Structure 1
Amino acid sequence: MRNHVAAFVAAVLFGFSGQALSAVTAAEAAQLDGKLTPVGAERKGNTAGSIPAWTGGLTSPPESWRKGTVEVNPFPDDQALFVITADNLDLYRDKLSDGHVRMFEQYGPDFFMPVYQTRRTAAFPEHVYNKFRENALTAELLDNGNGVRDTIMTSPFPVPKNGLEVIWNHILRYRGEEITFRSASATPQTDGGYNPVVNDYEYFFAYSKKGAKLEEIDNKIFYLKTDTISPSSLAGTITLVHETLDQIRSPRLAWRYDAGSRRLRRSPNLAYETDLPNSSSLRSVDQKDMYNGAPNQYDWTLKGKRELFVPYNAYLLHGADVKAEDVIRPGHINQALSRYELHRVWVVEAKRRTGINHIYNRRVFYLDEDSWQILASEEYDEHDNLWRFSEAHNISYYSEPVFWTTMEMTYDLRAKRYYIDGLDDGFPPYDFNPGFRGSEFTASAARRAARR
């Protein structure tokens, strides 16, 4: 038993790539009701007291919030404990990602990080926690890690043993059962000028529906339909995506309706390194949601855990009165609206496999231990130079207990430009209960919607 525990600890601390050697034992899974949270995070705080214990997360909204309105800041009295700048960078370097260090080096006094009290707000419904416990005992990687089996609803591996399991925890994390919202994206010029692209999003998470069984969801994780509202040159463009669980056996299905040609066409290349539509070639398709799609182009290594200053509880960026012009600045966002906290993160390195073509030779991901959400990532070029750096600013939503992004951005350190998505710009709140049916996400349904 001592040897088994030692092997497990070594795997978590030092990581290894490839498939899991075996599913976790009942004793390991039992930690989810002991020293670990139901999600698999360390329940205790750190020894310095700068990271508190997890006590259930943010399970009820503040009294000032009203249903049907945008989430309000649950910590309005919080003030920054300190601000990291290019001048005091060396004091905090050990708790900063390489990407953040590079942002300080490149943007000097204009880039700063306000650091607030750490609040472990991530929380999920109890039936999701129950699935974490079940998945821990049954979930397994498919051959070569291209999919998973015997799992449903949420992250499969709350007690992960390798990098692939950790990245699948992000891909399959619980984001509710369905959701609709409107948001804008932009690719600001070096002088800060921008033209936003506004889209309506509709998600139907087949994998996460209550009562769903893996054999009944047709290998689908979710269905996504986007409808471009503006600018007028793009208005009416519809994209439909069927995201598959095993993308090697059954690749992602995607269609795109171009209002100009008035035709719905298959988009077989909407994956991997393909430019993300309307990103000005500043972001690849597989960077949407920080990382998505089949992980077969990389070897994944779990590097262990670190305590890092990461974007968290981004209610200032999410505020109902925050406009795009309040957020966008030349080179990077308005950091005065950002909030960083000290959290434990899983660190996963992805190295491009021999013979694979991808614009990123190496990538490093930092995942929140309390939610399996990627909070930051670094993307390296062919010569292993840091090329791009991405952040996800997240909140805990109120109408559905979900910890998810409100805004993402990818900074291109060569072009000195960035792509930003999630600009709320006074739009209505996210609706986590729109009442969708799976039949609304077929190609024929998209074609009918386009013609209207």
Structure 2
Amino acid sequence: MKSNRLLFEVLLGASALALTFNAHAKAPADQVAKLGKELTPVGAEAGPSADGLVPKWTPVKQQGKLSGEFASDPTIEAEKPQFTITAAELAKYGDKLSEGHKYLLKTFKTYKMQVYPSHRNVAWPDFIYKSTAENAANCTLEGTDNPDNCKQGFPYPIPQNGAEVIWNHRLKWRGDSVRRQNDQMIVEADGRFQLAQLVEDVKFLYANEKDPVPLTQGKGLFLYYLSKIIAPTRTAGTMILVNESAGTGATGRAAWLYAPALKRIRRAPAVCCDNPYEGTDGQQFYDQVDMFNGVLERYTWKLVGKREMIVPYNNFKASRTKYAELAKPNHLNTDVPRYEYHRVWVVEATLRPGERHTYAKRVFYIDEDSWSVLMVDCYDGQGKLYNFQEGMAAPQANVLTHFTVPEIIYHFDSGRYFVTALQAEGAPNDYSVRYPEGFFSDNAVQQRASK
């Protein structure tokens, strides 16, 4: 009898595992019909929360130049905090906070969170709204890494599982192309910091206005990425080229590394997962760029549901603050970040049996209006909170998108923290840039580097 029960449990577990690799069902038709009505065109709840802390959706109008300007909103930036959270208020606000924020509040007497009025001002172009509605009725996901029948807009505005939420983040509209200056700081526990500088060129293929590349049966190239380290001197000239596709293995990401010492570009399969990004001194993994990117296959992805939480939002000030003012002992200068009440999707990623990654578990908090990952609690193999990622989110009215600038990774084991996507002492994003055919090929990179 006991052996039969054991066999049943084994078969049940195997069946559950197999289901995670099957195609997930499309969103229910009655839910799809709510897009643009009870739901926003990208799937968020349009109305306010019952307690009124989360307001109704009031999208911003497109304005501003495609280059030469940092995002701003003078009305929002003139507001004063409604209240401040310190360790003394953990019992009152703990259910609205990530584990990472609670750890910071409990560990450092100097840490606080200033909470401001909430604004749900994220907006997207009309063509994204239209293609998102089409995706809601047609787009599916095979396993964790193979979107099918998806084009241009958010693929899963009514998500059926955690992996679909993450794909919404990865495929969101960010303009057709962008050149970004990315300054980075490794901050020691005493507040001293080392500065690095990168220039990143990106062309978006899936979410492209005029010539979108669809994802079909787990195949489709959805962006080109090229970074070049400018400083410090010891790593200057290093370049990373990525042709990012859906799928895994040979059909997924293709990456190359140009090393100045070797004067040649070579394939780089290690540009993945929990391998450290070049020049970050181990402070950022490749799959932590943009809060999360890369293959999902190492984890199971549980959609926990929605929560009303206090999250970083409308951080126009943080994106324009000088670096020495941001970097303080143990944590970012707490007079700079802005926090608001918002609804977020909570997704738990748990490492699959037999797979390897520094993080055995990750808990993602994803904004319902933008599908941007705002925070990630990262746990080690013993279940201990190991790292905490936080993205200072803000809408970008000039191209009608939304992203996190800057992003912070707190390393609780060492006391250091890493800040990336800094721009205040450099140039704003340039969305007017256009790249010639072949710009993102390994041969083209080699030729430009050899000049």
Q: Would you say same fold, with TM above 0.5?
A: yes
Aligned amino acid, residue 375 of structure 2: A
Superposed CA deviations along residues 400-429 of structure 1, whole A, max 9, x for unmatched, are 111112111110111111111022132121
- Structure 1 residue 368: deviation in Å? 0.2
Is residue 2:67 matched to residue 1:45? Answer: no
Matches within 5 A, 1:384-423: 384-423=383-422
Aligned amino acid, residue 343 of structure 1: H
Equivalent residue for 1:244? 245
Identity of aligned residues (%): 32
How many pairs were matched up? 430
Pair 1:67–1:398, CA change in 2 (3 A): farther
Equivalent residue for 2:101? 100
- Structure 1 residue 167: deviation in Å? 1.4
- Structure 1 residue 265: deviation in Å? 1.7
Matches within 5 A, 1:166-177: 166-177=165-176
- Structure 1 residue 122: deviation in Å? 1.1
Is residue 2:215 matched to residue 1:227? Answer: no
For residues 128 and 46 of structure 2, the distance between their equivalents in structure 1, rounded to whole angstroms, comes to: 18
Equivalent residue for 1:6? none
Q: Which runs of 5+ in 1 are unaligned?
A: 1-15
Matches within 5 A, 1:313-324: 313-319=314-320, 322-324=321-323
For residues 47 and 84 of structure 1, the distance between their equivalents in structure 2, rounded to whole angstroms, comes to: 22
Equivalent residue for 1:342? 341
Matches within 5 A, 1:21-420: 21-55=24-58, 57-61=59-63, 68-74=68-74, 75-107=76-108, 109-142=109-142, 144-210=143-209, 211-214=211-214, 219-319=220-320, 322-420=321-419
For residues 305 and 49 of structure 2, the distance between their equivalents in structure 1, rounded to whole angstroms, comes to: 16
- Structure 1 residue 20: deviation in Å? 5.9
- Structure 1 residue 181: deviation in Å? 1.6
Partner SS state of residue 392, structure 2 = strand
Moved over 4 A (4+): 16-21, 215-218
Superposed CA deviations along residues 32-81 of structure 1, whole A, max 9, x for unmatched, are 121100110000101111111112x122448xx99632223332321100
For residues 141 and 105 of structure 1, the distance between their equivalents in structure 2, rounded to whole angstroms, comes to: 40
- Structure 1 residue 269: deviation in Å? 0.8
The 8 Å contact of residues 17 and 162 in structure 1, kept in 2 or not, is answered as: no
For residues 295 and 428 of structure 1, the distance between their equivalents in structure 2, rounded to whole angstroms, comes to: 33
TM-score if structure 2 supplies the norm length?
A: 0.91
Matches within 5 A, 1:421-440: 421-440=420-439
RMSD of aligned C-alpha atoms?
1.9
For residues 61 and 91 of structure 1, the distance between their equivalents in structure 2, rounded to whole angstroms, comes to: 39
Equivalent residue for 1:13? none
Pair 1:44–1:17, CA change in 2 (3 A): farther
The 8 Å contact of residues 274 and 287 in structure 2, kept in 1 or not, is answered as: yes
Partner SS state of residue 32, structure 1 = coil
For residues 17 and 96 of structure 1, the distance between their equivalents in structure 2, rounded to whole angstroms, comes to: 30
TM-score if structure 1 supplies the norm length?
A: 0.91
- Structure 1 residue 392: deviation in Å? 0.8
- Structure 1 residue 359: deviation in Å? 0.9
Partner SS state of residue 261, structure 2 = coil
Residue range with higher mean Cα deviation, 214-223 or 427-436 = 214-223
Pair 1:19–1:419, CA change in 2 (3 A): farther
The 8 Å contact of residues 18 and 162 in structure 1, kept in 2 or not, is answered as: no
Aligned amino acid, residue 34 of structure 1: K
Partner SS state of residue 439, structure 1 = coil
The 8 Å contact of residues 191 and 328 in structure 2, kept in 1 or not, is answered as: yes
- Structure 1 residue 398: deviation in Å? 2.8
Q: Which runs of 5+ in 2 are unaligned?
A: 1-18
Pair 1:45–1:150, CA change in 2 (3 A): same
For residues 36 and 445 of structure 2, the distance between their equivalents in structure 1, rounded to whole angstroms, comes to: 44
Pair 1:234–1:249, CA change in 2 (3 A): closer
- Structure 1 residue 261: deviation in Å? 2.1
Partner SS state of residue 448, structure 1 = helix
Superposed CA deviations along residues 298-332 of structure 1, whole A, max 9, x for unmatched, are 0110101101100011101112xx22111111221
For residues 164 and 228 of structure 2, the distance between their equivalents in structure 1, rounded to whole angstroms, comes to: 33
- Structure 1 residue 399: deviation in Å? 2.2
